[in-house]
Amino acid sequence: MFDNNSFEILAGTSERLGANFDGEGVNFALFSAHAERVELCLFDQDGKTEIARLDLPEYTHEIWHGYVPGLQPGALYGYRVYGPYDPENGHRFNPNKLLLDPYARELAGDIEWNDAHFAYELLHEDKDLTFDTQDSAPFTPKCRVIDPNEFDWQDENRPNIPWSHTVLYETHVKGFTQLNSAIPEELRGTYEGMGHPATVEYIKSLGVTSVELLPVHWFPDDQHLLDKGLKNFWGYNTLGFFAPASRYFGPNGIQGFRNMVRAYHDAGIEVILDVVYNHTAEGNELGPTLSFKGIDNFSYYRTMPDQHRYYINDTGTGNTVNTSHPRVLQMIMDSLRYWAESMHIDGFRFDLGTILGREPEGFDQRGGFFDAIMQDPVLSKLKLIGEPWDIGPGGYQVGGFPPGWAEWNDKYRDTVREYWKGVNVSTDFAARLLGSGDIYDLRGRRPWASVNFITAHDGFTLNDLVSYNEKHNDENGEDNNDGHNDNRSYNYGAEGPTDDEGINNVRERQKRNFLTTLFLSHGSPMLLAGDEFGRSQMGNNNGYCQDSEISWVHWDNLPESSEALREFTRQLIKMRAKQPLLRRESWRDGTEIKWFNAGGGYQQPEQWDEGSTLGVSLTRHDLQDEEGLWHEVLVLFNPFEGNVPFLIPQSTDEGWMLELTTSDTAKRGLIITKEKEFELEGRSIALFRRP
């Protein structure tokens, strides 16, 4: 069966993990603290036939290694790892299972789900305490050796956008490009499509600075989804932390990814990756054995302290990656550096980031992961964004990440939604609008640490937030039981699309209110792709399994209101970029903040509880006198249905000019020079500046 005589294997080195080509051959190195033997399996070019099995001859510092002279980039491989099959003590070695190298830079083929992927006999009553002898290799992707030097980056334009100027744009490689007729058909749904001039120029035209991509690390489609005719669309189920998801490969394969990154850099836009280091696709004790579980289960995963057969499940996905183990931590750091240095990525958003700060005793912002990142000369300089929660004990950590990090601020999302729904949350709204200093003004953290968002991939789109009272997830095949029930949404009189002009007008105005609030708020705004023109998911608030028209962005045959909203969004982003007053860099910049009530007087403590119509003026005397630079603005907010006469306060002779409004009735350019009432339309914002 094997032609082992065609291949020589030498000792090699343990210094670099993974498969590394040095110009003359390939060095293989694999960490496993508890294995007894490791076989390197080589495959022919179609990945179907195993052509050699070579024992890794050396074991140094818990790393198995060997060097194969003459082996070239493009070679396909996997591992078989021998050791105890003892689930009760956390060991699940089974050499009948072909395992993916955790450091593989590229995977060839897909998982064809089969009983052979499970290390135990699936139908046996003793479940994972049994041992299965079926060979999983025919049904498993293969790792591909890559040439690290085959791509000439010529990436001279890596942007370095200050946090205070950053506008994030969350999107999905396939979802964003699949239906875009401006992209050649063969490139839609691929990295090349995402990097196509039509895509890049559009994103550039909005004024956003940083594209944040949903997971592009290699992930499989879960069997239970495939059984229902669905797929894992979002990709939060990683199996390869170094390999780009091959499902988005276009004609140029892995180079298409690099070309995409370079195209954004040439346009002055950063690329940020949403990454999932908190769990893997191997699930719980009954999940498949695909990689880590068969290499060294006890090291890679957190198991229950007194029952190592079972996994700690702080992620809700069956397992939790053991970041307390130095080699596992090293793998995550190596992966991040690989994406930063070899793929030129500019930053990362860490899914369920709280988990990464967990030590055996709980969340610790001085835990190994945070320490490792912050002292790293490469990674500490990138944009680092945490999702500050998980489902473990003490998992809610908004504001709890260490200095240097930004965080998704869901308190911002919830408060702003409630405010525009008419709930009296004035004091909270005021704090969120001004950068959430109650959360972030600690330890020298800056206003930008708050990543402000109204919507994200998870939940309603902006259009659906103002169009549905309830979620409509029937297509997901879970009887509408999945997804959040607490959406703080409102349909204004009809569930879903309507021909009622009055309802549609209110919805459009509310979209403008949400977007205006977002871009007037201090902190780092994040816009969900498509919200700028009112994209809908037809009330589905959990599109994780919808690789379909529900989740794909529709570009054609949009109503007139879409273009108007898009243009409005562009103007907001442009205004924010031009005016430092609207994007504070520091809590100590001397900004004067005054809150007013509708009577034109200063907001008194008791008035915060009485009503939610608010005015706020922001003044900065330190800004230079430049043409077009604002030193003072007055913003009025009315979340209520009815109009409110708002007495415009006057402290100088200059008066105020209406620069921006979400109202359907007020007119830009209006100048008010003396104390007089301004009719603030129901559910609207007005922004005045000194003329």
Q: Which residues are catalytic?
A: 351, 387
Do the beta carbons of residue 105 and residue 142 sit within 8 Å?
A: no
Nearest residue to 271 (alpha-carbon basis) of 222, 228, 211: 211
Query: Which segments of 22-116 are extended strands (E)?
Result: 25-31, 37-43, 50-55, 58-60, 63-69, 76-82, 85-86, 91-92, 107-108
DSSP 3-state assignment of 356? helix
- CA–CA distance from 291 to each of 216, 287, 336 (Å)? 18, 12, 19
CA distance 490 to 290: 44
* Location of structure tokens 């914002």: 685
Nearest to 402, CA basis, from 361, 373, 438: 373
Tell me the torsion sign for CA atoms 210, 488, 542, 390. positive
- Compute the distance between CA of residue 336 and CA of residue 347 in angstroms, rounded to an integer: 9
Q: Which helix (H) or strand (E) holds 163?
A: none
Q: How far apart are CA 142 and CA 447, in angstroms?
A: 46
> Side chain identity at 145, as an amino acid letter?
V
Of 273, 251, 290, 228, the closest CA to residue 547 belongs to 228
Amino acid residing at 656: W
Q: What is the length of the chain?
A: 691
CB 580 within 8 A of CB 632: no
Q: How far apart are CA 586 and CA 84, in angstroms?
A: 56
One DSSP character per residue, 599-643 reads TSSBPPGGGGGT---EEEEEE-SSS---TT--SEEEEEEE-SSS-
Residue 373 CB neighbours (<10 A) = 23
Centre a 10 Å sphere on the Cβ of residue 1 and count the other Cβ atoms it contains: 8
Distance CA 211, CA 192 (A): 15
- H helix count then E strand count, the chain: 14, 33
Report the alpha-carbon distance of residue 276 to residue 617 in Å, rounded.
41
What tokens appear for 401 in the block? 């990440």
Q: Where are the alpha helices (DSSP H) in 322-436?
A: 326-341, 368-375, 410-421, 426-433
Q: What sign results for the dihedral spanned by CA atoms 283, 288, 290, 292?
A: positive
Q: Which two tokens stand for residue 297?
A: 């289960």
Distance CA 467, CA 82 (A): 56
C-alpha to C-alpha distances, 325 to 33, 140, 267, 304, 491, nearest whole angstrom: 11, 27, 40, 15, 49
Assess contact for 128 and 89: CB atoms under 8 A: no
Residues 6 or more apart in contact with residue 143 via CB below 8 angstroms = 19, 76, 77, 78, 100, 101, 104, 106, 107, 108
Tokens representing 653?
Answer: 């002779």
Using CA atoms, how far residue 96 sits from 39, 43, 80, 82, 118, in Å, is: 11, 16, 7, 9, 10
